[in-house]
Amino acid sequence: MDETEPGKAAGSPSAAEVALQHVREAERDLAQAIGAEARAEHQLEHAIEELEAAEHREFRVIVNGRRTEVDKNRLSFAEVVALAFPKPPPGQNIIYTVSYRNGGDKHHPEGTLVAGQSVKIKDGTIFDVTATDKS
Amino acid sequence: MSQQLISRSPDLKRLRDEGYDIEIRAGHLLVHGIPYVNSSHSVAKGTLVSTLTLAGDVTCTPGTHLAYFIGEHPCNMDGSEIAQIRHDTRAQTLGENLVVHHSFSSKPVSGAYSNYHEKMTTYATILSSPAHAIDPTVTAKTFAPIATDEGDSVFVYLDTASSRAGIGALSARFAGERVAFIGIGGTGSYTLDLVAKTPVKEIHLFDGDKFLQHNAFRAPGAAPIERLRQAPYKVHYFRDVYSAIHRGIIAHPYDITEENAGELAGMSFVFLCIDGGSSKKAIVARLEALGISFVDAGLGVELGEEGLLGLVRVTTSTLEKRDHVRTRVSFADAGSDDLYRNNIQIADLNALNAALAVIKWKKLRGFYLDLDREHHAIYTLSGNVLINDDKL
């Protein structure tokens, strides 16, 4: 025969324990739903990116104050520098500083680029490019 | 010595912070510039004097309620002497260089003054009230400049801004530092303007250029034309200007190159404010080898279709993070950049670059809180945006 605590019937959980169990179930459902939403969002972004690449869509961006159109949805550091300086000045070892804002990645809409990096763009992405070598 | 006594004694410090012109002379406390009315009904200025009771190097409760005065006997508005405080009138020598003319007696209701602030402000109010009635603009709180003794302080006069704000302990974080400026152009000179007001021990200026007319438009303050005619080296011009406040400025009228970069050994921090170029690469390598932290400040300006745009950069290199500098800082020899050279009305960008560089240095020293610990920051002029990168 089971020993039970006085005043508590064996096998019947208290009202608080039942409520706590309900909270845990609801939290698990919510976490699964959030995960599903994030996956769907990511898939949608990827699909849109695919579509944009397939369409050769033009994007209107601003580089050093000049409005220009590009036919791809990502721009590399080198491409941005080339847009800013179509005729590169003498002195090929210049390291340019590139900053962008209104970028295509909504989680990182602004930032800087160094050689080898690229950034997703959208209509209205703004780049500023100059060699920050003056004192 | 006397300024230390004042700083450590809350009653004397309060007098100084409130703007009273106080001095410790021959073991006495002097409060200069007390307005009073003389027998010919006009407002004059005299000096209140009190004995000083000390324990070690801080004040105790005043030993007497009596006070002395240097000047004529203070009067009421009608020219009659203030009889309520009269005690004695005769020249007395209290110590070397200290002769008083009158003594006053005004006991507070409590029987004794609890500190020197209470004592001196009570007498000052009694003496000044008639003068204030004649001319409401007169005050004993003159905020007169407070000189320091050589050897006591790196400052020529006391840093009352820090003591008044109660951040003296924080600003002491810079004491003992040996800071070098490589390049003292637009950005370098504004940086110096800020650093010269911190209690660093030594400020070394390295620059081989002369201070010419166009430089004056991209430098803090206003250079007199007579000084420009002398065509001084930049380091001599700025040493002379900032030696008015800081005693530790050392001028080196030559550029730092690969050959002499060893002179930077022993510096605690370096502000690198020179145009890009191969010598910058050598300096960076030497600073890394010497284990010296530095910030490299630089900016660029471009002409867009609708106006000037630009970026202002502060790249920081510390023992904890150095690898990013070579992808962030240009070591290319800068060609003739007519846009920057001809647009002299951009001193605000130099000043911003300087302020950002000095803020970063102060964060590294724990003066300002640094949560991002970024080692690269870019200000984008066209969008008024500051972006942090290379965070620890």
The pLDDT score that the predictor gives to residue B333 is 77
How many pairs of residues across A and B have Cβ atoms under 8 Å apart? Answer: 115
- DSSP structure class, residue B140: S
Contact A99 B380 (CB under 8 A): yes
| B303, closest residue in chain A (CA to CA) | A64
Cα separation, B18 vs A45, in Å, equals 64
Residue B144 in tokens: 């007169």
User: B interface toward A at CB cutoff 8 Å?
Assistant: 183, 185-188, 273-276, 297-302, 304-307, 309-313, 327-335, 337, 340, 376, 378, 380-383, 385, 387, 389
* Residue among B47, B68, B56, B51 nearest B5 (CA): B56
Beta bridge partners of B36: B44
The pLDDT score that the predictor gives to residue B132 is 92
Contact A128 B310 (CB under 8 A): yes
Tell me the shortest Cα–Cα distance from B374 to chain A, in angstroms: 13
Contacts of A114 in chain B (CB under 8 A): 327-328
Predicted complex ipTM: 0.74
* Residue among B124, B115, B88, B125 nearest B103 (CA): B88
* Residue among B351, B33, B80, B75 nearest B217 (CA): B351
Contact A65 B299 (CB under 8 A): no
> Beta-carbon neighbour count of residue B341 at 10 Å?
10
| B187, closest residue in chain A (CA to CA) | A135
Cα separation, B68 vs B70, in Å, equals 7
Do B132 and B83 form a contact (C-beta atoms < 8 A)? no
Tell me the shortest Cα–Cα distance from A127 to chain B, in angstroms: 9
β B249-252/B202-206 pair status: parallel
For domain B160-391, the CATH class is alpha beta
Tell me the shortest Cα–Cα distance from B47 to chain A, in angstroms: 51
A126 interfaces chain B, CB cutoff of 8 Å: yes
Q: Fill in the amino acid letter for A114.
A: V
Do B301 and B343 form a contact (C-beta atoms < 8 A)? yes
Do A59 and A73 form a contact (C-beta atoms < 8 A)? yes
> Beta-carbon neighbour count of residue B278 at 10 Å?
13
A81 interfaces chain B, CB cutoff of 8 Å: no
* Residue among A88, A79, A87, A94 nearest A125 (CA): A79
The residue written with tokens 């050589």 in the block is: B150
| A98, closest residue in chain B (CA to CA) | B311
Angle at B388 between CA B289 and CA B203, to 5 degrees: 45
The pLDDT score that the predictor gives to residue A108 is 92
Tell me the shortest Cα–Cα distance from B382 to chain A, in angstroms: 8
Contacts of B340 in chain A (CB under 8 A): 134
Beta bridge partners of A79: none
Contact A99 B385 (CB under 8 A): yes
Do B295 and B313 form a contact (C-beta atoms < 8 A)? no
The pLDDT score that the predictor gives to residue A90 is 67
Q: Using CA of residue B366, residue B369, residue B374, residue B380, what is the dihedral sign? A: negative
| A67, closest residue in chain B (CA to CA) | B305
A131 interfaces chain B, CB cutoff of 8 Å: yes
Cα separation, B56 vs B54, in Å, equals 6
Cα separation, B72 vs B58, in Å, equals 31
- Least CB-CB distance to B300: which of A65, A115, A130? A130
Contacts of A96 in chain B (CB under 8 A): 330
Contact A97 B332 (CB under 8 A): no
Outline where A8-76 has alpha helix (H).
15-55
Residue A32 in tokens: 């699964």
| Beta-sheet strand order (sheet of A111-113) | A66-70, A59-63, A126-130, A97-101, A111-113
Cα separation, A81 vs A71, in Å, equals 16
Q: What is the mean pLDDT of each run of 10 residues along chain B (392 residues)?
A: 82 94 90 95 95 87 95 94 93 89 93 95 95 93 83 79 73 91 97 96 97 94 95 97 97 96 96 89 96 97 91 98 94 70 84 98 96 98 96 93
- pTM for the model stands at 0.78
> Beta-carbon neighbour count of residue B53 at 10 Å?
13
> Beta-carbon neighbour count of residue A19 at 10 Å?
11
Contacts of B327 in chain A (CB under 8 A): 95, 114-115
A36 interfaces chain B, CB cutoff of 8 Å: no
The pLDDT score that the predictor gives to residue B229 is 95
Please, what's the b/e burial string for B223-235 (b: 16 or more CB within 10 A of its CB; e: otherwise)?
beeeebeeebbbb
Measured CA distances, B254 to A4, B26, B204 (Å): 91, 47, 12
Tell me the shortest Cα–Cα distance from A43 to chain B, in angstroms: 29
Do B85 and B126 form a contact (C-beta atoms < 8 A)? yes
Dihedral of CA atoms B275, B281, B282, B288 in degrees, nearest 10, equals 110
Q: CATH 3.40.50.720: which residues of chain B?
A: 160-391
Give the residue ranges of chain A where pLDDT is below 70. Answer: 1-10, 90-92
Helices (H) and strands (E) in chain A, counts: 2, 7
Angle at B265 between CA B261 and CA B268, to 5 degrees: 120
- Side-chain-side CA neighbours of residue B130 (13 Å): 23
Contact B327 A114 (CB under 8 A): yes
Q: Which long-range contacts (CB under 8 A, 24 or more apart) does B103-112 make?
A: B103/B66, B103/B67, B103/B68, B103/B69, B104/B66, B104/B67, B104/B68, B104/B69, B105/B65, B105/B66, B106/B65, B106/B67, B107/B65, B108/B65, B112/B61, B112/B62, B112/B65
A132 interfaces chain B, CB cutoff of 8 Å: yes
- Least CB-CB distance to A93: which of B186, B310, B332? B332
